[in-house]
């Protein structure tokens, strides 16, 4: 803007003046946003470290006076939370493996062979969003009951696999479409068989996308609540969100610190995974939409 | 699983995609279609069995008197459920609450997210921190978000009342237990929980707005506001339509957050339709009736979407 001729300096000047006023306001807005978004998180963190005496005192400050790991120890001591975390882990890992194994070949087919399936898959992804889960859960409950998968982690894995599949497929086919076909053709030209081309050329290039998709599937399964609420009644089989939701009602009223500590621990896996993949998640979806 | 689903951003210039229609490289001619089916089948079968079929069955159940329990006969009863529903004032009030919730959260979420996305698109310091903070709620399980806000809003120990006390304002407000304010409070939590996805999507859209357009408008002397209104907003439009549409659907169908926050209370003032239908199905065992509620919800949401999307199409064409 410095190279603009004298005729327009008036505009540039007013622009600059405008910016002088705008900048502080922009920072103010940014800080307000950060408080709104960050304060609850900071509060959860500090509460988890406060002793119960400190929590019950209405005059205690916002920051804990000393770092107290008791809440974490006690939260972990509660056997049902550990069991629940174990259940969540089993369900999330099984779902992730199943979805990845099933979706990978399908995504490859969707991206490389342009069949009608692409349209159908996209249509289903969008359609399945509109229907409230109440319509799906009742028949699903009846079906799973008939085949003995109610109150069964395998049943939950099955449901999660089916319901994370469309998006995993969509993401993965975007990543496949991002790999130039020419590379595969070059491989074939050099005499590599189909499988070998896939293994040595496509798979390494697809690896980051595959990781992102798997982690995303893991997070969805780890966080899910509604299906688990309906399908799991046995306290020994409940997943972490279920156990925590019960904890709120029962002891959570008094054990604020433990509740915060348990919540924090339950968030860590999805949070870490999410921050690992977030860049790729957004860019991958963009490219999935553009190149698809 | 709806709340954490990533958004697929539509792009205007899809025409860029290379028109490569070569099918079966390496395979025998014409075999591509069959290969594709073989690869897709393992994914297709479970999806059809455990999501397409239950969905159709669910729609059908809405026209029956199905109840929970072993081997009870199921009779098709036509529109009986809907006649009964039309007289159920509790359901309609829950429906109204659901619409207020869905529209308020979607609109507030959009405005707040657009503001944040615009700020994050500027060259401000500490942008990385704000961006990270804005992402965290996306990764958190909805149950934990609800627990966290219950702690925040706790009338005695919660930091919100404590801060009010510190500055001498009335500090005995029972945020989630007072029937006249519970819904607005829950809406604020809903906005907090849904902001990340909307913000990141809008930010991705903003970064795709060509800077040349902005520079040209600035040289022509357009004010910041006019540039936003005439350059940024039109360019962002497809993304805005997509994300607000999805947000509206997700919010209308949301469950876990409010279930843990208030379970529909106090006095049913936060009883979203999903909670109402859930109670009907799994507390009272009225499967057919609950499915009928689901059907009504689909029709209503489809109605709103139809008019919203048609309106958008029209104004884009004109």
Q: Are B32 and A113 spatial neighbours (Cβ–Cβ below 8 Å)? A: yes
Whether the pLDDT of residue A9 is over 50: the answer is no
Counted across chains A and B, CB pairs separated by less than 8 A come out at: 308
| CA distance, residue B34 to nearest chain A CA (Å) | 10
Contacts of B115 in chain A (CB under 8 A): 29, 33
Whether the pLDDT of residue A15 is over 60: the answer is no
pLDDT band at A2 (very low <50, low <70, confident <90, very high): very low
Contacts of A170 in chain B (CB under 8 A): 8
Report helix, strand or coil for A61: coil
User: Is the Cβ pair A139, B54 closer than 8 Å?
Assistant: yes
Give phi and psi for B211, each to the nearest 5: -70, -25
Which of A63, A160, A225 to mutate against chain B (most B CBs within 10 Å)?
Answer: A225
Of A124, A81, A99, A121, whose CA–CA distance to A219 is shortest? A99
Instruction: Give tens-digit pLDDT for A158-167.
Output: 999 998 888 8
Query: Could you tell me the pTM of the whole model?
Result: 0.84
DSSP A7: G
User: Is the Cβ pair B46, A158 closer than 8 Å?
Assistant: yes
Instruction: Give tens-digit pLDDT for A109-149.
Output: 888 876 677 777 778 877 877 888 888 999 999 889 888 89
Which structural domains are found in chain B, ordered by start?
A: 88-317 (1.10.3720.10)
Q: What mean pLDDT comes out for the span A280-292?
A: 51
CA distances for A47 relative to A22, A39, A55, B44, angstroms: 37, 12, 8, 46
Q: What integer pLDDT is reported at residue A289 of this predicted model?
A: 45
- Closest CB to B151: pick one of A167, A229, A260: A260
Contacts of B112 in chain A (CB under 8 A): 33
Residue by residue, pLDDT tens for chain B (318 residues) are: 444 444 444 444 333 344 444 444 443 334 456 777 888 888 888 888 888 888 999 999 999 888 887 667 778 888 888 998 888 999 999 999 999 999 999 999 999 999 999 999 888 888 888 888 888 888 899 999 999 999 899 888 788 888 888 888 877 888 888 888 999 999 999 999 999 889 988 988 888 888 887 788 888 887 878 888 888 888 888 889 888 988 998 899 889 999 999 988 788 899 999 999 999 999 999 999 999 999 999 998 888 888 888 888 887 776
Q: Are A190 and A201 spatial neighbours (Cβ–Cβ below 8 Å)? A: no
**Calpha distance B53→B60 (Å, rounded):** 11
Listing DSSP states for A28-54 in one string gives HHHHHHHHHHHHHHHHHHHHHTS-HHH
Of A122, A123, A133, A131, whose CA–CA distance to A160 is shortest? A133
User: Is the Cβ pair A220, B1 closer than 8 Å?
Assistant: yes
Whether the pLDDT of residue A19 is over 70: the answer is no
What is the greatest pairwise CA distance in chain A?
82
Q: What integer pLDDT is reported at residue B25 of this predicted model?
A: 43
Radius of gyration for the alpha carbons in chain A, expressed in angstroms and rounded: 25
Report helix, strand or coil for A217: helix
A134 exposed, middle or buried (CB, 10 Å; 0-12, 13-18, 19+)? buried
Q: Would you call A65 an interface residue with chain B, using a CB distance cutoff of 8 Å?
A: no
In this prediction, what percent of chain A has a pLDDT beyond 70?
Answer: 84
Report helix, strand or coil for A266: helix
Strand partners, B76: B64
ipTM of the complex: 0.83
| CA distance, residue A225 to nearest chain B CA (Å) | 6
**Calpha distance B34→B39 (Å, rounded):** 9
Q: Are B135 and A272 spatial neighbours (Cβ–Cβ below 8 Å)? A: no
Q: What mean pLDDT comes out for the span A32-40?
A: 92
**Calpha distance A41→A46 (Å, rounded):** 9
**Calpha distance A152→A149 (Å, rounded):** 5
Residues A137-174, buried b or exposed e (16+ Cβ, 10 A)?
A: bbbbbbbbeeeebbbbbebbbbbbbbbbbbbbbbbbbb
Listing DSSP states for A218-265 in one string gives HHHHHH--HHHHHH---GGG--HHHHHHHHHHTTTTT-HHHHHHHHHH
3-state SS record for chain B: CHHHCCCCCCCCCHHHCCCCCCCCCCCCCCCHHHHHHHHHHHHHHHHHHHHHHHHHHHHHHCCECCCCCCCCCCCECCCHHHHHHHCCHHHHHHHHHHHHHHHHHHHHHHHHHHHHHHHHCCCCCCHHHHHHHHHHHHHCCHHHHHHHHHHHCCCCCCHHHHHHHHCCCCCCCCCCCCCCCHHHHHHHHHHHHHHHHHHHHHHHHHCCCCHHHHHHHHHCCCCHHHHHHHHHHHHHHHHHHHHHHHHHHHHHCCCHHHHHHCCCCCCCCCCCHHHHHHHHHHHCCCHHHHHHHHHHHHHHHHHHHHHHHHHHHHHHHC
**Calpha distance A193→B46 (Å, rounded):** 30
Q: Which two tokens stand for residue A68?
A: 């107290």
**Calpha distance B31→B149 (Å, rounded):** 56
Instruction: Give tens-digit pLDDT for A174-225.
Output: 888 888 888 888 888 888 777 888 888 888 888 888 888 898 899 999 999 9
Which of A138, A163, A280 to mutate against chain B (most B CBs within 10 Å)?
Answer: A138
**Calpha distance B127→A66 (Å, rounded):** 31
Count of residues in chain B: 318
User: Is the Cβ pair B139, A267 closer than 8 Å?
Assistant: yes
CA distances for B16 relative to A69, A135, A175, angstroms: 56, 39, 17
Q: What integer pLDDT is reported at residue A254 of this predicted model?
A: 63
Q: What mean pLDDT comes out for the span A48-60?
A: 73
Question: How many other C-beta atoms are found inside a 10 Å radius of the C-beta of residue B33?
Answer: 16
User: Is the Cβ pair A290, B16 closer than 8 Å?
Assistant: yes
Q: Are B292 and B304 spatial neighbours (Cβ–Cβ below 8 Å)? A: no
Scanning A133-152 for CB atoms below 8 A from B yields 133-140, 142-143
Which of A75, A113, A209, A253 to mutate against chain B (most B CBs within 10 Å)?
Answer: A113
Question: How many other C-beta atoms are found inside a 10 Å radius of the C-beta of residue B290?
Answer: 29
Q: State the average pLDDT for chain A.
A: 81
């Amino acid at each position: 803007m410095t190279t603009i001729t004298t005729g327009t300096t008036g505009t540039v000047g007013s622009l600059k003046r405008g910016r002088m006023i705008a900048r502080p306001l922009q920072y103010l807005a940014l800080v307000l946003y950060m408080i709104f978004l960050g304060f609850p998180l900071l509060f959860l963190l500090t509460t988890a470290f406060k002793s119960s005496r400190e929590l019950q005192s209405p005059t205690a400050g916002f920051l804990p006076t000393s770092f107290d790991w008791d809440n974490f120890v006690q939260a972990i001591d509660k056997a049902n939370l550990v069991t629940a975390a174990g259940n969540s882990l089993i369900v999330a890992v099984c779902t992730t493996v199943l979805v990845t194994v099933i979706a990978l070949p399908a995504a490859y087919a969707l991206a490389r062979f342009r069949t009608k399936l692409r349209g159908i898959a996209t249509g289903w992804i969008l359609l399945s969003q509109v229907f409230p889960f109440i319509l799906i859960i009742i028949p699903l409950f009846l079906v799973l009951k008939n085949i003995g998968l109610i109150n069964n982690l395998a049943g939950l894995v099955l449901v999660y696999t089916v319901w994370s599949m469309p998006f995993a497929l969509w993401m993965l086919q975007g990543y496949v479409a991002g790999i130039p076909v020419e590379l595969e053709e070059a491989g074939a030209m050099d005499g590599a068989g189909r499988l070998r081309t896939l293994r040595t050329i496509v798979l390494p290039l697809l690896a980051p996308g595959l990781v992102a998709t798997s982690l995303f599937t893991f997070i969805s399964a780890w966080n899910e609540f509604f299906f688990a609420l309906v399908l799991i009644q046995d306290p020994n089989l409940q997943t972490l969100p279920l156990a925590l939701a019960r904890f709120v009602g029962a002891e959570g009223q008094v054990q604020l610190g433990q509740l915060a500590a348990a919540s924090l621990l339950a968030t860590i896996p999805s949070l870490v995974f999410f921050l690992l993949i977030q860049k790729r998640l957004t860019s991958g979806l963009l490219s999935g939409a553009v190149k698809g | 699983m709806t709340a954490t689903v990533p958004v697929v951003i539509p792009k205007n210039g899809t025409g860029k995609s290379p028109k490569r229609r070569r099918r079966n490289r390496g395979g025998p001619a014409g075999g591509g279609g069959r290969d594709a089916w073989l690869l897709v089948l393992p994914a297709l079968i479970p999806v059809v069995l455990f999501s397409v079929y239950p969905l159709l069955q669910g729609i059908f159940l809405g026209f029956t008197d199905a109840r929970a329990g072993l081997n009870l006969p199921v009779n098709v009863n036509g529109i009986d459920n809907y006649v009964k529903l039309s007289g159920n004032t509790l359901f309609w009030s829950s429906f109204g609450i659901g619409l207020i919730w869905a529209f308020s959260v979607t609109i507030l979420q959009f405005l707040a997210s657009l503001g944040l996305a615009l700020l994050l698109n500027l060259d401000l310091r500490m942008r990385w921190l704000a961006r990270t903070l804005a992402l965290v709620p996306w990764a958190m399980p909805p149950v934990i978000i609800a627990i966290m806000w219950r702690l925040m809003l706790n009338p005695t120990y919660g930091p919100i009342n404590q801060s009010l006390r510190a500055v001498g304002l009335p500090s005995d407000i029972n945020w989630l237990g007072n029937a006249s304010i519970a819904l607005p409070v829950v809406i604020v939590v809903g906005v907090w929980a849904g902001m990340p996805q909307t913000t990141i999507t809008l930010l991705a859209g903003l970064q795709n707005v060509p800077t040349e357009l902005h520079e040209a408008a600035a040289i022509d002397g357009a004010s910041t506001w006019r540039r936003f209104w005439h350059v940024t907003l039109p360019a962002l439009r497809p993304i805005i339509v997509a994300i607000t549409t999805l947000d509206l659907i997700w919010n209308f169908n949301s469950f876990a957050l409010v279930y843990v926050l208030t379970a529909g209370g106090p006095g049913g003032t936060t009883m979203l339709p999903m909670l109402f239908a859930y109670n009907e199905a799994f507390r009272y065992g009225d499967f057919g009736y609950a499915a009928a509620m689901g059907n009504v919800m689909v029709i209503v949401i489809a109605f709103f979407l139809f008019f919203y999307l048609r309106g958008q199409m029209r104004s884009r064409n004109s």
